[in-house]
Chains A and B, each alone.
Chain A
Amino acid sequence: MTSESGRNPQLNRNGELHHLLSLEGLPRAIIERVLATADGFINVAEREVKSVPLLRGRSVFNLFFEHSTRTRTTFEIAARRLSADVFNLDITRSSTAKGESLLDTINNLTAMQADMFVVRHAASGAPHLIARHVAPHVHVINAGDGRHAHPTQGLLDMYTIRHYKRDFANLTVAIVGDILHSRVARSDIHALTTLGVPEVRAVGPLTLLPDGLEQMGVRVFTRLDEGIRGADVIIMLRLQNERMRGALLPSAQEYFRNYGLTPERLRLAKPDAIVMHPGPMNRGVEIDSRVADGAQSVILPQVTFGIAVRMAVLSIAASSQRMQ
């Protein structure tokens, strides 16, 4: 039994998931439970009634301090398919613009009887701050914070890999692109190592590779051809345009020449390798359209699986309520 202060802030006293803030340090059993529960939600969307009554009467607030239509929409669909009442608050344009502090905003929303906050914030650690501050029955789900974590994307990536590869035990997974600024890469690396993937690779230009990857158990490659050779899974990351304007990269064309995934390069990976991307894609920058739309791409199934995985996260977190 760990002490109160040493406790993982995501877990309640019984070791159950109460908030989802990061995949770092999350026990393997909880990750596996999310994946197994998501299996049960996959075919809900194929029925006449596309929702189950699990979270009927609960209020889920989507708090997006940073704009992201896609992630917000998939969380909204997930919460609605659980029959929760969903409220979308686009904070970028409202209270904070008037100078209200983050915690004042949260206090106000808690006073409106929120049961769960789904938080996207440009500052790393903002969801942790909120989780420490909310009432004990309220749950916080991190929908992406700064460069820190995007745990539901990491979980849906694990679900996708498990769907196509069945087992994590013998895989080589290459994560390609802007690892330095990517919360997706960070979450994926934590989940892959927790699930026992023997070879996790980070591939990108030196200027976009953070320090300390080797200590996380990751093999680092600066050349794409070597990095994806023999890989079972290739996760391409979005290259954000602002990286070009900074001094980190010369140009989109040169980036594509060195790190763009083309059909020719994809042949270096295993013949049955899958190609993933968290979206939105920059075609012709990090990925060739023939790969993005090709037979090995599982980019659209990722989106579908993402809804079931988020339903699993919301319902598992909501069910820890009585323990607090």
Chain B
Amino acid sequence: MIELDAEAVYRSLAARLREEVIGRDVRLVGVHTGGVWLAQRLKEDLHVAHEVGILDISFYRDDFSRSGLNPSVKPSSIAFDVEGADIVLVDDVLYTGRTVRAAMNELFDYGRPARIDLAVLIDRGGRELPVQPTAVGRRIEVPEEISVVLSRDDDGRLHLTLEQRRDI
């Protein structure tokens, strides 16, 4: 098991995103669960006034007929009006791009945003859909059988580990 310095990667993501959103009135939307942790940190560090939106994309996944429903679905909650909003979608690890597609589909069911940017802590390549992030903490190359896992300890510190995938 290899551990990356998640806090350093996070600082790099925050710095990149800060440049991108200068002069914009953005709203952050985190993808459950890691993306929500990151969006909450970014809200503080980038002084975003609006409450963080939360998406659980379980109802929008494209592998429902193969994998079934996620056993621990959490409610999505977006307190602001998505119609016309300038949105930054936040997720922990960008891989195939399927989660981002599902998240965008769900966002559009709340309204038509003016713009959606994508901020991710880790971009591990391996895209299966044409998805391009706006801000990235770090790009890494890892073999298919490794999964990149974000966790958060009791003090709120982030940890990134590379683990052997159990499903392949």
Q: Which of A16, A33, A42, A318 contacts B75 (CB 8 A)?
A: A42
Q: What 1/0 mask marks residues of chain A from 82 to 114 whose CB sits below 8 Å from any chain B CB?
A: 000000000000000000000000000000000
Assembled-state Cα–Cα distance A23/B158 (Å)? 42
Q: Which of B56, B109, B111 contacts A40 (CB 8 A)?
A: B56
- With A49-B109, A52-B109 known to touch, is A37 a contact of B60 (CB < 8 Å)? no
- The answer to whether B111 touches A53, judged by C-beta atoms less than 8 angstroms apart, is no
8 Å CB interface, A194-246 against B: none
A residues in contact with B111, CB < 8 Å: 48
Binds A, one of B1-9, B35-43, B65-73, B133-141: B65-73
Assembled-state Cα–Cα distance A39/B83 (Å)? 24
In the complex, A166 has a CB within 8 A of chain B = no
A residues in contact with B82, CB < 8 Å: 48
- The answer to whether B68 touches A43, judged by C-beta atoms less than 8 angstroms apart, is no
- With A48-B83, A53-B105, A54-B59 known to touch, is A40 a contact of B110 (CB < 8 Å)? no
Q: How far is the CB of B56 from chain A (nearest CB, A)?
A: 6
- The answer to whether A321 touches B65, judged by C-beta atoms less than 8 angstroms apart, is yes
- The answer to whether A37 touches B76, judged by C-beta atoms less than 8 angstroms apart, is no
8 Å CB interface, B98-120 against A: 105-106, 108-111
In the complex, A319 has a CB within 8 A of chain B = yes
Assembled-state Cα–Cα distance A252/B58 (Å)? 49
- The answer to whether B74 touches A40, judged by C-beta atoms less than 8 angstroms apart, is yes
In the complex, B80 has a CB within 8 A of chain A = no
Q: How far is the CB of B89 from chain A (nearest CB, A)?
A: 17
Give the total number of A-B pairs whose CB atoms are below 8 A apart.
Answer: 57
B residues in contact with A315, CB < 8 Å: 59, 69
- With A48-B83, A48-B110 known to touch, is A43 a contact of B60 (CB < 8 Å)? no
Which of A33, A37, A51, A315 is the most central at the interface, judged by chain B CB atoms within 10 Å of its CB? Answer: A37
Assign chain B's interface to a size class: 20 to 34
Chain B binding surface SS class: loop
- The answer to whether B83 touches A322, judged by C-beta atoms less than 8 angstroms apart, is no
- The answer to whether A52 touches B60, judged by C-beta atoms less than 8 angstroms apart, is yes
- With A48-B109, A49-B109 known to touch, is A319 a contact of B74 (CB < 8 Å)? no
Assembled-state Cα–Cα distance A321/B109 (Å)? 27
Chain A binding surface SS class: helix
In the complex, A22 has a CB within 8 A of chain B = no
Assembled-state Cα–Cα distance A51/B73 (Å)? 16
- With A40-B56, A48-B109, A54-B69 known to touch, is A319 a contact of B75 (CB < 8 Å)? no
- The answer to whether B68 touches A319, judged by C-beta atoms less than 8 angstroms apart, is yes
- With A53-B105, A54-B59, A319-B69 known to touch, is A40 a contact of B76 (CB < 8 Å)? yes
In the complex, B164 has a CB within 8 A of chain A = no
B residues in contact with A37, CB < 8 Å: 69, 73
- The answer to whether A40 touches B75, judged by C-beta atoms less than 8 angstroms apart, is yes
A residues in contact with B60, CB < 8 Å: 52-54
Report the nearest A residue to B58, measured CB to CB.
A40
Assembled-state Cα–Cα distance A315/B69 (Å)? 7
Q: How far is the CB of A324 from chain B (nearest CB, A)?
A: 12
Q: How far is the CB of A80 from chain B (nearest CB, A)?
A: 14
Report the nearest A residue to B108, measured CB to CB.
A49
Q: How far is the CB of B164 from chain A (nearest CB, A)?
A: 24
- The answer to whether A322 touches B59, judged by C-beta atoms less than 8 angstroms apart, is no
Assembled-state Cα–Cα distance A194/B133 (Å)? 48
Q: Can you name 29 A-B residue pairings with CB atoms under 8 Å?
A: A36-B72, A36-B73, A37-B69, A39-B75, A40-B58, A40-B73, A40-B75, A40-B76, A41-B59, A43-B75, A43-B76, A44-B59, A47-B109, A48-B82, A48-B83, A48-B111, A49-B108, A49-B110, A52-B60, A52-B106, A52-B109, A53-B60, A54-B60, A54-B64, A54-B69, A315-B59, A318-B69, A320-B68, A322-B68
**Which 10 A-B pairs give the minimum distances between C-beta atoms?**
A319-B68, A49-B109, A52-B59, A319-B69, A40-B73, A40-B75, A54-B59, A37-B73, A39-B75, A47-B110
Beyond A36-B72, A37-B73, A321-B68: 12 further Cβ-contacts under 8 Å? A37-B69, A40-B56, A40-B59, A40-B73, A42-B75, A43-B77, A47-B110, A48-B83, A52-B59, A54-B59, A54-B60, A319-B69
